[in-house]
Chains A and B, each alone.
Chain A
Amino acid sequence: MRHYIKVELLRMLRNKRYVIFVVAFPVGFYLLYANLWGAEADQTTGLRGSVLLMVSMAAYGALAAAMMSTAVPWSQERHSGWLRQLQITPLPGRAIIATKLVSSLLLVLPSLLLVGLAAVLTQHVTLSPLRWVELILAMWAGTIPFAALGLAIGSLLPPDTAQPVAMIGMFGLALLGGLWFPESIMPAAMRSIAHLTPSYDYASIGWRIAAGQAPHAADAAGILVWGVALVALALVAYRRATART
């Protein structure tokens, strides 16, 4: 299974779509936005723009990585016959989905770390070592619901619909979660929807940690509930997609 994970990582790192959306986008936009608004302070969190944007863009990159590395590749493997190829080897079925999830979590790391690195190098963002560790661990673990959502999409839909659904889901969650624009400028109705999304909970936990505050209980509870629900959905969908009749 370790070799299987290695192979999964290798192929995604060679995938142009992954590299562009997941690695180049968040870092590029961070550099752009931080130059424009990096010095301003955010009213709600009190964070400097360069720190707030670091969390937002890292959150976007991680969310995108979690969904891009799962939904479409997995749907394609099911339809192209690669899943069958694996099913007729001694590899147990549960190892396939476990590997997909673990690989996806590893593929989240480049965007998290590179955006952080860009923030340190270009905007001279400084956090205490403990704060860095907390932030990265929280933002890493927080991608589990999105990876699960991607796997569920890949299990339920054929590749040509999984692709737009994953894209809309990814950008929709990023927008509603306030990763691109602060939720404080959203209209009231949209804001109340935004607060229900896992992406808002996810980013909000990151902002709080970066500001040196404990995350809101509501955000932690929100992402936990989403996590349990989406992992359960992913497992049910996986079982359905691989059922032998």
Chain B
Amino acid sequence: MNAIAFTEVTKRYGDVLAVDGIDLEIPAGATVALLGPNGAGKSTSINMLLGLLRPTSGEIRVFGEPPDRAVAAGDVGAMLQEGELIPELTVAETVDFVRRLYPRPLPMEEILRVADLTDIAGRRADRLSGGQTQRVRFALAIAGGPRLLLLDEPTAAMDVESRRTFWDNMRAYAARGRTILFATHYLEEADENADRVVVIARGRVVADGSAAEIKASVASQAVSFLLGEQPVAGLDALPGTTGVELQGGRVTLRTTDLDATVAALYRKTTLDIRDLQLHGADLEDAFLALTKET
């Protein structure tokens, strides 16, 4: 069964089209990254999944139900971008309050352990550091033992060390067959923590697959050399080539298959090739290529 299904979903704020026709299915048990630059529509999509916002058109289903109903059934937990706690309550009181709102909550000790809060359970929320507050918010997201966990840029306020611990904790939670969707604009996080990456830009899905597939799908590999006065014609017909750029006598061929393009360059042309340089793909390039304004 699909944990999440978007069918032709759009969301308009006045003149701005924040989500522009998203179709997306995420099967139960997957860990998926929603990757995109700021303003791409990530938070809007997550808020719609929680029923906090309504789509302008299209349909969203969570475990086959409208989002409101999935939330009411206790199937969804989320860590939203901003969110303070009640200052007068302790960590344990806050977590216990929220877990009791769910029909099938996790045991208290387990929540505190997974979110790394056991040592500060008795501390009042107004005496927590930023990183500790984030951990409490993660604890609140998992407290009900939801089948679907949504995380909207969960590590935004964390230092490197807390980030690492956070993802370890998240993976521990995911390991039990739960579905996780997290929004991020950090490529590394998407690459390391998700088995599938959905890239969105300007409210649309621009790529969808494993991190490796996304790298491969984009012509971000390139070969360049000094062309001098020689003719540029015919280079765009070489195997794998998706684009040719000429700048000051140096030509750059964008390609989806670096090996084939280079081989053909030597075998099928008679060009005098000097100062050949190869550029491999990384997710950063792929991301920039996919999300750049056109």
Contacts and interface: CB of A to CB of B under 8 A. Distances in A.
A130 interface: no
B80 A11 contact: no
Given A85-B140, A89-B101, A89-B102, A11 B84 contact: no
A151 B68 CA distance: 25
Interface string A162-183: 0000000000000000000000
Contacts of B83: 80-82, 84-85
Interface in A49-87: 77, 80-82, 84-87
B86 A82 contact: yes
A8 to B, nearest CB: 9
Contacts of B93: 7, 10
B43 to A, nearest CB: 12
Given A84-B80, A89-B144, A244 B53 contact: yes
Nearest to A8: B86
A207 to B, nearest CB: 35
A7 B76 contact: no
B88 A15 contact: yes
B144 A245 contact: no
A88 B83 CA distance: 12
- The 9 A-B pairs of least Cβ separation, nearest first, read A81-B83, A80-B84, A11-B88, A14-B88, A89-B101, A90-B74, A7-B97, A91-B101, A81-B82
A7 B137 CA distance: 18
Nearest to A3: B100
10 contacts: A77-B86, A81-B82, A82-B86, A88-B50, A89-B71, A90-B72, A90-B103, A90-B144, A92-B72, A244-B52
Nearest to A16: B88
B54 A10 contact: no
A96 to B, nearest CB: 11
Contacts of A77: 86
B80 A82 contact: no
A244 B82 contact: no
B78 interface: yes
A92 B52 CA distance: 13
B121 to A, nearest CB: 16
A192 B82 CA distance: 48
Interface string B146-167: 0000000000000000000000
A4 interface: yes
Nearest to B56: A245
A15 to B, nearest CB: 6
A244 B103 contact: no
Interface of B: 50-54, 71-74, 76-78, 80, 82-86, 88-89, 93, 97-98, 100-103, 137, 140, 144
B89 A11 contact: yes
B52 A84 contact: yes
Contact of B89 (A7, A85, A88, A91): A7
A82 B71 contact: no
B89 A10 contact: yes
Main secondary structure of the interface of A (DSSP, over half): helix
B85 A82 contact: yes
A87 B52 contact: yes
A4 B98 contact: no
Interface string A1-33: 001100100111011000000000000000000
B165 to A, nearest CB: 22
A19 to B, nearest CB: 11
B133 to A, nearest CB: 11
Given A81-B84, A84-B83, A245 B97 contact: no
A87 B53 CA distance: 11
Nearest to A12: B88
Interface in A221-245: 244-245
Contacts of B101: 4, 86, 89-91
A66 to B, nearest CB: 19
Contacts of A82: 83-86
A4 B98 CA distance: 9
Interface centre among A15, A80, A82, A85 (most CB of B within 10 A): A85
B16 to A, nearest CB: 14
A78 B121 CA distance: 25
Contacts of A7: 86, 89, 93, 97
B141 to A, nearest CB: 9
A211 to B, nearest CB: 40
A80 to B, nearest CB: 4
A4 B97 contact: yes
B98 A85 contact: yes
Contact of B78 (A3, A4, A80, A88): A88
A40 B128 CA distance: 53
A202 B286 CA distance: 69
B54 to A, nearest CB: 6
Contacts of B85: 82
A90 B97 CA distance: 12
Contacts of A92: 72
B277 to A, nearest CB: 49
